[in-house]
Amino acid sequence: MDKQHLITGATGLIGRHILFELLQRLLDGQDRARLLLLIRPSNGLTGAERLEQILMKEQLPRRLLEHSREEMLEQVQVIEGDISSRGEVESIRALLHDGQAHVIHCAAATTLSQTAHAEQVVIENNYEGTRNLLEGLDGCYEAFTFISSVYSCGVQQGLIGCSYLDQPVGSFRNPYERYKRLAELEVREHCGRRGVRWQILRPSITCGRLVEEPLYVTSKFDVFYGFLSFFHSLGQKDLDPIRIEHNPQSGLNIVPVDYVARSVVELLDQPDIEVNIAHSRTTPHAEWIPRAFGKIGYASFELVNAAPVEPNQAELLYYEKAGRAFTPYLVAPSHEFDVEPLLRLTGLEEPEVMGNIEPLVDYALKRGFRA
């Protein structure tokens, strides 16, 4: 019997690229598997219609264009459902061969907001949604891969290893980080009790493609893209310079989405593991921000070591909007992520990120920072 992969979040940025990678391997004859995609209807579109949207030419890696859409669709089965509903999750049990499925759980609400509403969204989708899958499909899967985040470690400094579930954490910047951590613990505990193989794979901040052509493509413009979008929206307005608080010794850890997806697929056969899917070098704030701002044409800013005591009107706007979510990452202690296990287990070559900041921003500008 062919193995089964049940993928949640296949229309999201990382989920669709995992789907692309698995499709490529199936169509090339490198693998045999039944692909089941749990997709919720949204914005008046059925799950099947949402899948067809992501198989559009401009989004697909060039290698997949050698195959027709019909060939790709023959490899997958769409199941309509929402992980936030236990009933909808349990309704798909009959479609799974008992104990044969490998769940690849990518679905998540990604928000860095600290509001009560954002926390409720994160709880329902990221934490309770994960529990619904673990418990609602109990007995139907032999492995469970949870796509988490390197920032589930909370605020840390120095070299951050992969196996930190049993280690104390510092404060969390937002509910997204906190509930990723709690969901990780649920995955390990639930699978451990039942002898099910588990994986916690933690991508870092994800940018557009840097491995698969066409390069720079992304379907999501959040995190650092959202930060840049705020300043791009200001345009050439006559504003006082904005003093941006940051830690000059720190930076962002950025990895391309196709590298993340290929890493996930390469790791699927590994035993119980925690792995950081990150870059070995952070991208310093003092380098990427000026270069990115140069592309969006925004020069009225200054990087400072502390927030302004008497902010001007432009700064009040910044710290209320983009700064509220992003400042905790800009002022974070200097840190790196241990990627030795990732490189050793996958054998993949680490992509260059810093040298591609400008074309990544160019792509976002062409799309107007909109998916």
At 236, the pLDDT band (50, 70, 90 cuts) reads low
Q: Which contacts (CB < 8 Å, 24+ apart) does range 52-58 have? A: 53/11, 54/10, 54/11, 54/16, 54/19, 54/219, 58/214, 58/217
Residue 52 lies in a domain: yes
Residue 222 lies in a domain: no
Confidence (pTM)? 0.96
Residue 218 lies in a domain: no
Count of domains forming the chain: 1
Residue 289 lies in a domain: no
* pLDDT, tens digit, 9 for 90 and up, residues 146-163: 999 999 999 999 999 999
CATH classification of the domain holding 87: 3.40.50.720
Q: Tell me which residue range forms the domain holding 124.
A: 3-209+253-280+335-351
* pLDDT, tens digit, 9 for 90 and up, residues 311-342: 999 999 999 999 999 999 999 999 999 999 99
Q: Kindly give the pairing relationship between strand 158-160 and strand 197-203.
A: unpaired
Residue 244 lies in a domain: no
* pLDDT, tens digit, 9 for 90 and up, residues 291-316: 999 999 999 999 999 999 999 999 99
**Contact yes or no for 260/17 (Cβ under 8 A):** yes
Residue 175 lies in a domain: yes
Q: What is the model's pLDDT at position 371?
A: 84
Q: Kindly give the pairing relationship between strand 158-160 and strand 335-337.
A: parallel
DSSP string, 274-339: EEEE--SS-EEHHHHHHHHHHHHT---EEEESS--SS--HHHHHHHHTHHHHHHHHHTPPPEEE--
Residue 101 lies in a domain: yes
Residue 184 lies in a domain: yes
Q: Is the pLDDT of residue 175 over 70?
A: yes
Q: What is the model's pLDDT at position 167?
A: 83
